[in-house]
């Protein structure tokens, strides 16, 4: 039986990563370890995470006609997703991100968008058929907002679940939120979106409720090792996380979203889908790099089993 499809609209970058004892302050130079180059970009990370977790994924993106674009395509293809709607842009280079990762696992990132900034509503229209047939549309904010809005409107009108990870955080129009089935944000993103300082469970609930009032149908706030807070108009629920030793948290949110999309396409209830996503994200922070950190489905299943949680259906 053919699996329901996941469409990811978003960015593709090459990450250039340096591990440092601590993140540099403004104007400061710190010594780091060897430079690590890895495939990244929030859209590509989410697509890879979903594919490795067992999803049937179509990726809509733009990369440059350069070596970085060639390598990005090669890496994405190796995970078996549909790349028919990844355009090669002759007018902009492929995106790149410069990342410092502290020994504590904290990171600081600067992104040169390149071709990502040219992903347009026209690219969405070209993929109209595949979006209309999707079970889940998954997006982030490393590509133009108008493109995300066009994709969300189309998918929502066809009855798909629209998952928006508002990262990097920016001001969002209520028009977009009204097309969002599930808004997934970490604490800093929720704070930027709402102006509410997230300094405890009560503040997290208040921020989530504010986003619900603005139009999102469900809000999930990811809280690191503490887990994830699910908020709907019926109430809130904390789904516990998994305690692991963090090495690099760069793609934890992307892995969470990709795994969440997979679990939901397979018919899981939201609580169980979030637990699956928590397990995937926990595994990802134990490894360096963005896409290299995304776990395979079997690894997620084993972690859940070790903690006595319900496994995923095959």
pLDDT for 243 equals 84
Q: pLDDT grade, residue 202 (50/70/90)? A: confident
* Percent of the chain whose pLDDT exceeds 90: 82
Q: What is the average per-residue pLDDT within 177-188?
A: 96
Distance of CA 43 to the CA centre of its chain: 6
In this prediction, residue 312 carries a pLDDT of 40
- At residue 1, the pLDDT reads 45
- Pull the structure tokens for residue 213: 């009032």
Residue 100 in any domain: the answer is no
Give 292's pLDDT tier (boundaries 50, 70, 90): confident
Phi-psi region of 227 (alpha: psi -120 to 50; beta: other; left: phi over 0): left
Q: Is residue 15 part of a domain?
A: no
Q: Whose CA is closest to 135, among 73, 244, 197, 55? A: 55
Task: Enumerate residues 6+ apart whose C-beta is below 8 A from 267.
Answer: none
Q: Is there a contact between 247 and 288 (Cβ–Cβ < 8 Å)?
A: yes
* Residue 307, pLDDT score: 86
pTM above 0.85, yes or no: yes
Per-residue pLDDT tens digits for 74-100: 999 999 999 999 999 999 999 998 989
Over range 248-257, report the average pLDDT.
Answer: 91
Catalytic choice (15, 82, 248, 254): 254
Choice between 260 and 37, residue whose per-residue pLDDT is larger = 260
Task: Residue 272: name the closest of 234, 232, 237 by CA.
Answer: 237
The span from the CA of 198 to the CA of 59, in Å, is: 33
Per-residue H/E/C for the chain: CCCCEEEEECCCEEEEEEEECCCCCCCCCCCECCCEEEEECHHHHHHHHHHHCCCEEEEEEEEECCHHHHHHHHHHHHCCCEEEEEEEECCCCCEEEEEEEECCCCEEEEEECHHHHHCCHHHHHHCHHHHHCCCEEEECCCCCHHHHHHHHHHHHHCCCEEEECCCCCCCCCHHHHCCCCEEEEEHHHHHHHHCCCCCCHHHHHHHHHHHHHCCCCEEEEECHHHCEEEEECCEEEEECCCCCCCCCCCCHHHHHHHHHHHHHHCCCCHHHHHHHHHHHHHHHCCCCCCHHHCCCHHHHHHHHHHCCCCCCCC
pLDDT score for 107: 85
Position 18 in a domain: no
In a domain, 81, yes or no: yes
Domain annotation covers residue 92 = no
Local confidence band at 313 (pLDDT 50, 70, 90 cut-offs): very low
Q: Give the mean model confidence (pLDDT) for residues 98-112.
A: 88
Give the total number of structural domains in the chain: 1
Which tens digit of pLDDT belongs to each residue from 1-34?
A: 456 699 999 999 998 999 999 999 999 999 999 9
Mean pLDDT of 131-137: 97
Pick 107 or 64 by higher pLDDT. Answer: 64
Biggest alpha carbon distance in the chain?
Answer: 57
Q: Is the pLDDT of residue 178 over 50?
A: yes
Average pLDDT of span 36-50: 94
Q: Would residue 235 count as lying in a domain?
A: yes
Q: What is the pLDDT averaged over residues 218-246?
A: 93
Task: Give pLDDT, residue 246.
Answer: 85
| Domain coverage including residue 144 | 5-10+42-87+120-306
Residue 235: Cβ-neighbour burial (10 angstroms; 0-12, 13-18, 19+):
exposed
Q: Is residue 106 part of a domain?
A: no
Q: Is 156 tagged catalytic?
A: no
pLDDT at 310: 53
Residue 71 lies in a domain: yes
**Confidence at residue 314, expressed as pLDDT on a 0 to 100 scale:** 32
So what's the pLDDT on residue 2? 59
CATH number of the domain to which 261 belongs: 3.40.1190.20
């Amino acid at each position: 039986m053919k699996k329901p499809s996941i469409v990811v609209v978003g960015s593709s970058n090459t990450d250039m990563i340096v591990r440092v004892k601590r993140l540099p302050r403004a104007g400061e130079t710190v010594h780091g370890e060897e430079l690590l180059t890895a495939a990244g970009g929030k859209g590509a990370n989410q697509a890879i995470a979903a594919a490795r977790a067992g999803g049937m994924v179509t990726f809509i993106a733009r990369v440059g006609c350069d070596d970085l674009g060639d390598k990005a395509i090669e890496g994405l293809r190796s995970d078996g997703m549909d790349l028919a709607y990844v355009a090669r842009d002759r007018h902009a280079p492929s995106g790149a991100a410069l990342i410092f990762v502290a020994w504590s696992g904290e990171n600081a990132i600067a992104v040169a968008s390149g071709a990502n900034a040219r992903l347009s509503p026209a690219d969405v229209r070209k993929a109209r058929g595949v979006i209309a047939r999707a079970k889940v549309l998954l997006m982030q904010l490393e590509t133009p907002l108008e493109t995300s809005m066009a994709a969300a409107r189309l998918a929502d009108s066809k009855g798909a679940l629209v998952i928006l990870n508002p990262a990097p955080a920016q001001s969002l129009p209520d028009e977009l939120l009204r097309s969002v089935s599930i808004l997934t944000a970490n604490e800093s993103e929720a704070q930027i979106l709402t102006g509410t300082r997230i300094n405890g469970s009560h503040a997290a609930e208040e921020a989530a409720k504010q986003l619900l009032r603005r139009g999102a149908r469900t809000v999930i706030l990811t809280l690191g090792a503490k887990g994830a807070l699910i908020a709907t108009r019926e109430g809130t629920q904390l789904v516990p996380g998994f305690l692991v030793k963090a090495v690099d948290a760069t793609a934890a949110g992307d892995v969470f979203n990709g795994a969440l999309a997979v679990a939901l396409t397979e018919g899981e209830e939201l609580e169980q889908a979030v637990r699956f996503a928590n397990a995937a994200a926990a595994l990802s922070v134990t490894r360096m790099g963005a896409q290299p950190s995304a776990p395979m489905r079997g690894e997620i299943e084993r972690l859940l089993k070790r903690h006595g949680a319900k496994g995923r259906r095959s």
